[in-house]
């Protein structure tokens, strides 16, 4: 008796779902589990445009190789000087790009360790300002 009631309840629910799908124009299809990954950038054949550090790292290695880029304790919640640190970093980047504007391959990485500011700047230009 319980099985019949459960079966009839399931049939009614399935009919309601079908009618709802028809009146709301919902269409479904089988999922297609393809193994798709993001496009990996490549250098030009004559190496005139090199890859940046961010482009060189594959998406599956972000947690291993690029995690240290985000280790900055001044951007934590309720930390003093968070705004000042961001403005100082912006000033450093603009100063570097304004002084040597045609020399860098990608973004400047600024690491702060206690009282030391470490700059990681990948060079990739021709060495002469334009």
pLDDT in tens, 81-107: 777 888 888 898 888 888 887 777 677
Q: What is the DSSP string of the chain?
A: -HHHHHHHHHHHHHHHHHHHHHHTT------------PPPP---TT-SSPPPHHHHS-GGGHHHHSGGGG--GGGSTT-TTHHHHHHHHHHHHHHHHHHSTTSBSSPPEEEEETTEEEEE--B-S-SS--
pLDDT in tens, 105-121: 677 888 887 778 888 88
> Would you say the pTM of this structure is higher than 0.75?
no
pLDDT of residue 2: 56
3-state secondary structure 3-28: HHHHHHHHHHHHHHHHHHHHHCCCCC
Please report which confidence band the pLDDT of residue 72 belongs to, taking 50, 70 and 90 as the band edges. low
Write down the residue that tokens 């100063």 correspond to.
95
Domain-wise residue ranges, the chain: 41-130
More confident call, 1 vs 123:
123
pLDDT at 71 over 70: no
């Amino acid at each position: 008796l319980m099985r019949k009631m459960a079966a009839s309840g399931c049939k009614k629910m399935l009919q309601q779902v079908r009618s709802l799908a028809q009146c709301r124009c919902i269409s479904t299809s089988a999922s297609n589990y393809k193994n798709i990954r993001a496009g990996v950038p490549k250098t030009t054949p004559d190496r005139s445009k090199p890859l940046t550090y961010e482009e060189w790292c594959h998406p599956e290695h972000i947690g291993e190789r690029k995690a240290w880029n985000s280790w900055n304790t001044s951007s934590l919640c309720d930390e003093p000087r968070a705004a000042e640190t961001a403005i100082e970093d912006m000033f450093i980047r603009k100063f570097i790009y304004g002084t040597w504007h045609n020399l860098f391959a990608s973004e400047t990485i600024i690491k702060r360790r206690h009282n030391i500011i470490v700059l990681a700047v990948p060079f990739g230009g021709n060495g002469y300002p334009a």
